[in-house]
Structure 1
Amino acid sequence: MSKNVVFIHGLWIHSSAWRPWQDLFEQQGYTTSAPGWPGDLDTVEATRATPEGLNNQGISEICHYYAETIAQLDEKPIVVGHSFGGLIAQELLANDLVAAAVAIDPAPIKGVKVLPFAQLKSGFPVLGNPGNKSRTVALNEKQFKYAFGNAISDEESDALHAAWTIPGPGRPLFEDATANFVRNSPAAVDTHTAVRGPLLLTSGTEDHTVPKVVTAAVAKLYADNTASVTEYHEYEGKGHSLTLDAGWKDVADDVLVWLASKGF
């Protein structure tokens, strides 16, 4: 079974934020990588200074980029994705490009019809201006606090914002927001018939960006796929920062236990 793990970040967070996870997984014998999205640069500072490469990078472009990256590996890896990275992880899994996937507070896939106010407010810095579809948008400290850091202190939220945030392309959010109205939406995932490796969906109960009712609705879309394993787990009291904040290791340890239970 695969011992290669690829970490996929979400909107507004640089891939280097996965380094603590990578260190932990490598201590457990896994080989890891955390490639950024197409257009990301090597560091937070460089990406902030020159974010234009992320302009117009949509869900399909990001999926294809990771598919090409994964194809260069010796075996199908495990993917662990957060937020939009969780949506990408599900698409890679449904297409049998990876051995297993963990989607942590994943952006909703096509077919999810609930739209809580908190989710709408979290996306408003991008969705509030149609012109943002073709450009990158950064979150300020207040916006990050609501979307990511609502379950942690102001001080910790501001520190995470300073350390890890980068501008994010607006296009994936617009594509996700209109997924149910577009026939061939790039946010569509085969939840019903795909024969694939195991999938773990997780949700923080206090998440504003992807509220738990959204992830629970995603899990229900998989319910009739009896050929493949899908499991759902909630983290009480955690928000969207759960992969970054002081409690990250609790989540990472749970992922390691789940992978071991599946033979990885």
Structure 2
Amino acid sequence: MKASPSQTVVFITGAFVSSSCWDEWKVFFEEHGYACLVPPGLYKDASAPTLRSRQPDAHVASIRLTQLAEYYAAIVRQLPQKPILIGHSMGGLLTQLLLQQDLAAAGVAIHSVPPQGVITFKWSFYRSVWGPLGYFTPVGESFMMSLKQWQYAFTNGMPGAEQRASYKAFAIPESKRLSRDGLTAAAKIDFTRPHAPLLFLAGSTDHIIPASLNYSNYRRYQHAGSVTAYRELPGRNHFVLGQPGWREDALCILTWLHQLPHQQDPKVSKSGFLTGARSR
């Protein structure tokens, strides 16, 4: 699958972060021949500082997962051909949901929020998501992650100055309803259905979406004629899009896209992907 001027990548932003997190990724993929779209999230077409100044934001607080999936589906349907979807975190789950609707030529789920029923017992996951779920707090108010929460859930392992700078540049309020919907039937994936090629990327140091949770997500796909792939990259936390190694991750995705026509039986490819048509 080589890039052509008509081939489009749509980047889908996760929760708690501004869509500007894709700025460098957009330039990178455009340099490799792709047309790129980075739609802002619902009620989030503003800078991170502006969005934080609106906290609590009733419009953001109203966002639901089904509504957000329909929002991105409408954007994708307007394109002349099926795009490649690249989503991070909640954007990864949205990528899975849109592939289930047969709306993409391929999908990449980076540190994806898991679909309904895919669980982990890692303490770091529960510590990270408790605040965003917002139980025992007003659901009509958006949730703004504190710097301390950001440092644990997103930027663990990074120098303090970089953690603070990333928080200032990218952290935004989010909907508690959206976070909770990830636990409901709105996040349901039929793992037996055929789907376009799908790559999962995981990070070895991610607290909020541990690599083992990404692997469980990948392993659930069962359709024998559909290609899935998985790769865990060392030293990546949940702020993977802005870490110094982000270019390596982007190259990893390009490598996978370019080799798609040659995928056959499950194997570990020369590029380090666990790949192939899933079968049980």
TM-score by length of 2: 0.87
Structure 1: runs of 5+ lacking an equivalent: 180-184
Of 134, 137, 160, which residue of structure 1 is paired with 2:140? 134
Sequence identity percentage: 32
State the SS of the aligned residue for 1:135.
Answer: coil
Return the offset for 1:256: 1.3
Residues 102-131 of structure 1: CA distance to partner in whole angstroms, max 9, x if unpaired? 000000111213232111111122235343
Return the offset for 1:135: 2.8
Partner of 1:47: 51
* Equivalent AA in structure 1 for residue 239 of structure 2: S
Partner of 1:259: 257
Partner of 1:32: 36
1:8-87 aligned within 5 A? 8-50=12-54, 51-87=57-93
Partner of 1:156: 162
State the SS of the aligned residue for 2:109.
Answer: strand
The higher radius of gyration belongs to: 2
CA distance in structure 1 between the partners assigned to 2:163 and 2:248 by the alignment: 18
Contact 1:79 1:98 in 2 (8 A): yes
Contact 2:49 2:169 in 1 (8 A): no
* Equivalent AA in structure 2 for residue 188 of structure 1: K
Partner of 2:116: 110
* Equivalent AA in structure 1 for residue 20 of structure 2: S
Return the offset for 1:161: 0.6
CA distance in structure 2 between the partners assigned to 1:148 and 1:99 by the alignment: 30
Return the offset for 1:198: 0.3
CA distance in structure 1 between the partners assigned to 2:45 and 2:251 by the alignment: 29
Is residue 253 of structure 2 the alignment partner of residue 241 of structure 1? no
State the SS of the aligned residue for 1:262.
Answer: helix
* Equivalent AA in structure 1 for residue 213 of structure 2: V
State the SS of the aligned residue for 2:187.
Answer: coil
| Larger deviation, residues 37-46 vs 73-82 | 37-46
Q: How many residues align?
A: 255
Contact 2:132 2:145 in 1 (8 A): no
Partner of 1:206: 205
Contact 2:115 2:189 in 1 (8 A): yes
* Equivalent AA in structure 2 for residue 7 of structure 1: F
Partner of 2:277: none
Contact 1:135 1:171 in 2 (8 A): no
Return the offset for 1:236: 1.2
Contact 2:48 2:168 in 1 (8 A): no
What's the Cα RMSD here?
1.5
Structure 2: runs of 5+ lacking an equivalent: 262-280
Return the offset for 1:99: 0.9
Return the offset for 1:27: 0.4
CA distance in structure 1 between the partners assigned to 2:96 and 2:133 by the alignment: 24
Return the offset for 1:213: 1.5
CA distance in structure 1 between the partners assigned to 2:251 and 2:141 by the alignment: 36
CA distance in structure 2 between the partners assigned to 1:38 and 1:153 by the alignment: 32
* Equivalent AA in structure 2 for residue 46 of structure 1: T
Contact 1:205 1:234 in 2 (8 A): yes
TM-score by length of 1: 0.92
CA distance in structure 2 between the partners assigned to 1:113 and 1:23 by the alignment: 35
Return the offset for 1:200: 0.2
Taking structure 1 as reference, are residues 65 and 23 closer, same or farther at Cα in structure 2, changes over 3 Å only? same
State the SS of the aligned residue for 2:240.
Answer: coil
CA distance in structure 2 between the partners assigned to 1:152 and 1:132 by the alignment: 32
Residues 129-175 of structure 1: CA distance to partner in whole angstroms, max 9, x if unpaired? 34353331111211101001113222211111111111111112212
Is residue 195 of structure 2 the alignment partner of residue 191 of structure 1? no
State the SS of the aligned residue for 1:168.
Answer: coil
* Equivalent AA in structure 1 for residue 162 of structure 2: E
